[in-house]
Structure 1
Amino acid sequence: MQMLNLTVAPALLLSALGLGTWALPGMGAGVRACVGIALVSMALMVGHSVAGLPLAPLAWGLFGLGLGGLWRCRPVPADLLHPLLVFTAAFSILVLVRGGVSYVPWGDDEFINWLTPAKQLFLARWQFAPHILFSNPSYPPAWPALLSLPSVLAGRFSQDMAGLVPFALHVAFLGLVFDIARSRLDRLSSWGFVLFALAVEISWRLLPLNLLSEQPQVYAESAVFLLLLWTAWAKGEERRGLLAAAGLMAAQGYLIKAAGIVAVPALALAAAWPLLSCWRDLRRRLAPAVFDMILLAAPVAAVYLIWARMAPGSSCSTSLGSYLSVKGIADLAVDRAGPLSEYVRAVAAYYGSYKVPLSVVALAGLGLGLARAASRAAILAVLAYFALYLGALFWSYQTCPVNFNYYLSSLERYILVPLRVLHAVGLMVLALELAPRLIRLRGYTALAGAAILLLAGWQAWRLSHDLAEIGLRDNGRAFAATGEAIVATEPALRRALANRPDKARVLQLAEFGYPYPHYPTRHYLLNSDGATLPFEYCLATGYGESIRFAGLDCPFPNLDQALARSDILWALSLTPALADAVRPFLAPACPADFSGTVLVRGGSGRFACPSP
C-alpha cells in the first residue's frame, strides 16, 4: 500500500499544472501549478463547503479538468529540466529505493485542526451538504480539503497520502521561484538560485515534516509578492497574467489560513502606488490602477465574503468584525503598554536568533529593490504585509484570548510566516541584481555547475533523511509512540467491542503529561459519521508519580470510579504510579507490565489480561 503513495505528488502537481493551464496558458509551469492549486482550493470551498456538492465527484471532476489542461499545454523537452518535474522525479526514485513512504503524525494541532478534519471530509465524500463538526468550524476549509484530496481520489483514507500534500505544494512554489528567476536569468543560474534558496531554507525543508498550516501559508504569501515583483519588468498581457496569478494566490493564502487577509491592504498599496507617487498624472494612471486592484484583490475579496457569510459557527480569531468592533478597538487601545512591550521584545528576541545572516542579506535585497523605481511598489507591499501581519497578530492575542490563543502562544511558529516571505523576496531581488554580473566572470559556468551538483547532492541526502524522519519521528517519539500504540492495539479493541451487545465504556491508560492521547484516539477510531466514537471514552494519563483523569464521556469524578464502571481497559503505556492505581482492579494472572494490551472485564468483576 505504501507504494501507492508514490503517485500522490505527481498526480497533484500534474493535475494542478493542467488546471493552471486553462487559466493562464502562457505562464511557466511553476506559476501554472500554483494557480492550479489555488483554483482547486477555491473550487472545493465554493462547490463543497458552500454549495454542498459531494466531495468525491467534485474532486474527480477537477482531476479530469486538470488532465485535460495538461493535454492542452503540450510540454516541450525543456520542461523536463524544470524543478516541478526534477524534484518530483527525485522524490519518486527515493521512494522506490526505500520501498515506500509512510507518515506518522504527531502533536495536538496536526490531529485537531488538520488531519482529523481531512478524515471527516473523506468520510462525508459522497454526501450532499454534509454537516461536519470541525474543532473550529469558522476556519477557512482549504487546507484540510487539500489534505483529504488524495484519499478521496484513492477511495480510502490514508494519513501517508495526506502527509505528502505539503511536498507537492512546496514543489509547485519552487517551480514558481524558478520561473521568476528564469524570466531574467539563464537556466543554470536559475537552478543555482533555487537550490541555494532551499539550502538556506527560505521555505524550510524540501519535504515538510508536519501538516501545520504555516508552511502552505508561506508558499502562498511568498508567491503573491514574488509575482508582484515580477510585474516590475513584465509588460502587457504577461503583466496582467501575473497580477491575476498574484490575486489567485492571495485567495489561496486566505483559504489556507484567515491571517492571509492582511495581504489585501498590502496589495492595495502596490496597486495604488502609481497614484500615490505621482499625483500630477492622476487621470491617466487612475484606470490602470483600478484594473490592477481588481486583478489583485477580487479573488480574495470574493472568497472572504462568501466564507464570512456561509461559514458555520463563529470564531473571534477568524472574524474581522471581532477586531473592528468597539470592543476590539477598545481592547487594543486601553492599557496595552505592558503587553505590547512584551510582544515586541519576544518578536525581536526570536528574529535576533533565527537565521540572522539570511535576514541581513534579504534586507539588503529589499533595500536594492526600494532603490529601483520599477520594483519599489512590490517591496513596499512586502514591508507593509510584514508590519500588518505582526500588528494583526498582537491584536489577535489581545482581542481573542481563547484557550488556544493565549498570550504569545505559538508565537515563533506564527511570526516565521512574514519573515520567510521577507527572505524569499529579498533574496530574489539580490539574486536578480548580482547574477548578471557574476555570469560575465571567467569560469562562471564551471563553478556554477559544480555548486549545483553539490547543492543537489545535499538536497538528495536531506530528502532521504526526511523521508525516514516522517516515518520514524525520532524528534517527536513520545507523540509518535502514542499514535503507534493506538494503531497497534486498535484491532484487539475492535474485537472486544464486537463481542459486546451494547455500547461499551472504555478507559484508556497512557503515559503522558496531559490528555494528548484523546486526539489520535478520536482520529483513528472515528465512526463513519465523522463525529462519534464506537464507545464511551475515558482517559487516564500518568507522568512521573502524578495521575490525571479526563472524564471525556464519563460522569465520574475520579479514576477509581471510572475503573469500577468501565467495561474495557485500554492500556497504551504505563507509569509505575498508573499501573499501581489500576492493579487492584486486575485479575491475579495479569503480568507486571500490561501496557500495549486491551483488557475486558470478566465474570469476576476484574479485568482479564489477554493470553500471551
Structure 2
Amino acid sequence: MPGYLLYILLGFGLGALVPGPGRIGFSSPGLRLFLGIGLAPIAVFVLHKNMGLGLFHSVSVIFAAAAAGLALGVWRLARNRPSLEDTFNPAFVLPAVIGIVALNFGALDYVPYLGDEFSGWINIAKQINAVGGYAPEDMFGLQADYTPGWPLLMSFPALLLGQFEERMVGLLPAVMHAGLFGLVFDLAGRTLINFGDFSAARRAVYSWLIVLLLLSAEATGQLVARNLLVEPPQIYGIGVTMMLAVAMFLPGVSQSWASFLIGLSFAILYFIKVTALALLPPILFLAVILPFAERFFAGSLAPARGSVNWIAQSIKNLAAALLPGVLLIVLFKSSISSSTPFGSPSSVLLPEMFAKAFSLQSLEITRLVGGAVWDFTATYKTPVSIAALIGLIAAAFNPRWRLVIAVLLAFLLVYFAALNWYHLTIWDDNLRSIQRYSRIPVRVFHLIGLMLLFVNVAELVLGRESSRLKHFLESRLPFVLAIGLVVVLAVWQVRQIDRRIADLSTRQFQHVAAFHTSVPKAAKQMGQILRQLGDRKVNLLVVQQGGNPDILEVVHYYLVSNSYRSGIPNIQFHAVVSWPLASSSNPSAAERLDKAMTKADVIWPVRLDEAMSRRLRELTGPGKCAQPMADNFFLSDHGNPPQLRCVTKTD
C-alpha cells in the first residue's frame, strides 16, 4: 500500500500545479490525477539527465513539489466549497474503493508473469533502482532511445523507500485509470448541465451510471489492470486525449486550453511509448482545422468569425498543442546518441526502408497483417463494438461531433498504417503481437463511440424543451431506478476489483509457467554463488529443454537485487537454452553443448529432459549430485569435455 498511496499523492499533488485543468471551463480532479502521474517521470528525467541531478534527489524534489501541490489543492477545496460532483468524483472514489478492497485482501502482492514485463518495463524499473540512476548503457535489455517514462514511473517508490518490491507498483495503472474515468464523469456532468436541467444530485447519479456502464462493458479494460505492460497506460492516455477532443465541442470549454492539455497528454504518451506519434497527425489536424472547419462541421453551432480570427485561433491552438511534445522530444533526444527503429521511428522512413516496403513481398505481408487485425477486431467484444459503432454513426448526423469522429478515424488509420509499415520494413511476415497492439485502438474506439452515443442522445433528448422523454427523465421514477442500477453496478465492480487483486497477488486465474515459481527461489542462491565468484564477468548457461531464450529475461530479473544501488549482476548469458540431444536428426547437439559448458562458469538447469539429465550425470560422475539433476546448479572446470561440480539447490 505505501507505493499505491505515493502514486495517489503524486497524481493529485503535481496535478494541482498544472494550470490547464482549472481554466478549461470545468473542474476535473480526474484530469489533474492523470496529468500529475504522467508528468512526474518527465520532470524527473529532465532533472536527472538534462540537469545532472542525482536520481534519488530528482525524485525527492518531485515528491516535495507534489506534497506542496496537494497542500495547495486542499487549500483550494477549503476556500471554495466543493460541489457534490467534485466530492463524489470517481477520481477520489475509485482509488479509495480499490485501497479498501486491497486492505481487506491482506497481503497485497504483484506477481509478474508475462514475457514483455521481464524483457522491459518492470525489469528496467528494478534495474533503475539497482543502479541508482537511469543508465541505459549499464542495463540489460534496454535501448537507449526508447522513451523510459513507464519503467521510470514504476521505480519511484523503490527510489524513495530504498527497496524494490513488486507489490508497490501493481496498482499503478489503476490510479491512472481512475483519472480517465474522473474525466469521463466530468464530461458527462458537463453534458447534463449544458443540455438538461438537473439538480447536482441527479447529475452525479446519472454521471456515475455512465461511468459504471463503461466499466461494466470494459470499454477500456477492467478498472484494475491485469499486468504492468505498457498497453494499459497507452489506452488511458489516448482515452484522455480523445475525451479532451470531445470536450472542445461542449459549450463553455476553452479551445486554447483544451489544445494545451491535449499537447500535455501527447507528451505524456510519447514518454511512455513512441507509438504516441500515431496521435500527432490527428492532433495537428484538430488544432489547425478546428477554427476553419467550425462552420462546415458544426453548422449553425459555430460562432461567426472573420478569416483573420480563424487564422489567429489556428496558430494559437497549434502552438498550444505542439509546444509540450516538441519541447520534450528535444530534451529527450539531446540526452541520447543512438537510434533504433523502435525508439526513433524516423529511421523506418529512410529511402532503403521505402524500397523494402514496396518490394514484391509487401502485398502479401499487408494481406497477412490486415487479415490478422480483422480477425481480432471483428471478434473482440463484438457487442461493445456494435454499440460504439452505432454511437459514431448517430453522432455523425450531429454537426457538433463530426470533427471528433474525423480525429478518431484519422488516429485509427495512422495507427494501423504504422503497424503495417513496421511489418513491411522490420518484421516482414513474422506477425508481432497483433492482438496486443490492436487492442489499444479498439478500446479507444469503444470508449469514444460509447461516450458519443451518450452525449449525442443527451443533446437530442434534453435539448428539446417539449420532449416527453426529457420530462420523464426529470421525474422521480427514473432517478430512483438510476440509483438502484448504480448500486448494483457498483457492487459488481467491487467484486471485480476483489477478484483482480487476488489474481495480481496469486495469479490463480492465469496459466503461469512453473519456472515463475522455481526461478525466484533459485535466484537467491545463485546470487550467493555469483558473489563467491568475485567481481569478474560470469558466463551463465541456463538450460530449459524445450523452452526459448525468453527465460533469460526472467532469470536476469530475479538476479537483480531489490536493494537501492546494489548494482547489476556482472553476468553474460549463453544465447541457447535448449539442446535437442534426443533428436537423431541433430547429432552435433551434444558436441555444441559440451563447448557451451566448457565456456560456462555456472550452469543453471530450469527444466531438463532425460537426455540432458543423463549427459549431466556423465559429466559429474555417478552418485555425486542430488536427484533429480534439475535440483542442482553446476560449476564447470572449463575442461574439454568439462567436469562439473554439483551445488544442490536449497528452498
Q: Same fold (TM over 0.5)?
A: yes
Alignment of 1:274-353 (within 5 A): 274-276=291-293, 281-335=306-360, 336-353=362-379
Distance 1:289 1:564, change over 3 A: closer
- Give the alignment partner of residue 271 of structure 2, picking from 233, 255, 260: 255
SS in 1 for 2:34: helix
CA contact 2:128–2:152 (8 Å) conserved in 1: yes
Q: Which has the higher contact order (CA 8 A, sep 6+)?
A: 2
Secondary structure of residue in 1 paired with 2:604? strand
What is residue 248 of structure 2 aligned with on the other side? 231
> Does structure 2 conserve the Cα–Cα contact (< 8 Å) formed by 1:19 and 1:65?
yes
Q: Once the two structures are superposed, what CA deviation does each residue of 1:284-316 show, in whole Å capped at 9, x if it has no partner?
A: 211112111222222122223333443342112
Q: CA deviation at 1:89?
A: 1.8
* 1:411 is the counterpart of 2:437: no
Q: Compare 164-173 and 593-602 and name the one that shifted more.
A: 593-602
| Distance 1:126-1:563 versus aligned 2 partners, 3 A rule | closer
In 2, the alpha carbon distance for the partners of 1:198 and 1:596 equals: 46
- Over 3 Å counting, the alpha-carbon distance change for 1:156 and 1:73 in structure 2 is same
For residues 244 and 273 of structure 1, do their structure 2 counterparts lie closer, same or farther at Cα, with a shift above 3 Å needed?
closer
The offset of 1:172, in angstroms, is 1.7
Residues of 2 paired with 1:8 and 1:529: CA distance? 19
How far did residue 541 of structure 1 move? 4.1
Q: Distance in 2 between matches of 1:611 and 1:491?
A: 10
Residue 177 of structure 1, aligned match among 162, 165, 184: 184
Residues 516-556 of structure 1, C-alpha deviation per residue, up to 9 Å, x if partnerless? 22102212223788885345544774599869xxxxxxxx9
Aligned to 2:198: none
> Is the 2:209–2:482 contact (alpha carbons within 8 Å) kept by the matching residues of 1?
yes
Matched ranges for 1:11-410 at <5 A? 11-24=6-19, 26=22, 27-74=27-74, 75=77, 76=82, 78=84, 79-125=86-132, 134-185=141-192, 186-235=203-252, 238-271=254-287, 272-276=289-293, 281-335=306-360, 336-401=362-427, 407-410=430-433
Runs of at least 5 residues in structure 1 that lack an aligned partner in the other structure? 1-5, 548-555
Q: CA-atom RMSD, angstroms? A: 3.1
Take 1:545 and 1:411, find their aligned partners in 2: how far apart are those partners?
34
- 1:553 counterpart residue number: none
- Contact 2:30/2:183 (CA < 8 Å) preserved in 1? yes
Q: Which moved more, 1:326-335 or 1:176-185?
A: 326-335
Q: Is the 8 A contact 2:395 2:456 kept in 1?
A: no
Comparing 283-292 and 326-335, the one that deviates more: 326-335
* Residue 595, structure 1, aligned to residue 649, structure 2: no
Conservation of the 8 A alpha-carbon contact between 1:489 and 1:596: no
Return the offset for 1:326. 2.4
Match of 1:533 in 2: 569
Instruction: Tell me the secondary structure at the aligned position of residue 17 of structure 2.
Output: helix
Please say if residues 542 and 575 of structure 1, whose CA atoms lie closer than 8 Å, have aligned partners that are also in contact. Answer: no
* Structure 2 residue 559 is matched with structure 1 residue 558: no
What's the TM-score once normalised by structure 1's chain length? Answer: 0.88
What SS is found at the alignment partner of 1:208? coil
How far apart, CA to CA, are the structure 2 residues paired with 1:497 and 1:137?
27
- CA 1:578–1:101: 2 relative to 1, 3 Å: farther
CA–CA distance in 1 between the matches of 2:417 and 2:534?
57
* Residues 505/300 of structure 1: CA separation in 2 closer, same or farther (3 Å cut): closer
Shift of the alpha carbon at 1:163? 2.5
Match of 2:587 in 1: none
Q: 1:501 Cα deviation (Å)?
A: 5.7
Deviation at 1:496, TM superposition (A): 3.4
Question: CA contact under 8 A between 1:48 and 1:129: conserved in structure 2?
Answer: no
Q: CA deviation at 1:593?
A: 1.9
Is the partner of 2:226 in helix, strand or coil?
coil
For residue 570 of structure 1, give the secondary structure of its aligned residue in structure 2: strand
Q: Is the Cα–Cα contact under 8 Å of residues 496 and 600 in structure 1 kept in the other structure?
A: no
1:45/1:579 CA distance change after superposition, 3 Å: same
Q: Relative to 1, partners in 2 of residues 1:80 and 1:610: Cα closer, same or farther, differing over 3 Å?
A: same
CA contact (8 A) 1:114 1:144 kept: yes
Contact 1:526 1:534 in 2 (8 A): no
Contact 1:222 1:421 in 2 (8 A): yes
Of the three residues 488, 503, 528, the one matched with 1:495 is 528
Aligned length: 594
CA distance in 1, matches of 2:581, 2:223: 42
**What is the SS of the residue equivalent to 2:96?**
helix
Q: Distance in 2 between matches of 1:592 and 1:163?
A: 37
Give the Cα separation in 1 of the matches to 2:448 and 2:142. 35
Deviation, structure 1 residue 564: 5.2
Alignment of 1:469-508 (within 5 A): 469-474=503-508, 477-479=511-513, 481-500=514-533, 503=536, 505-508=539-542
Gaps of 5+ in 2: 193-202, 297-304, 463-469, 584-589
Distance of 1:355 and 1:561 partners within structure 2: 51
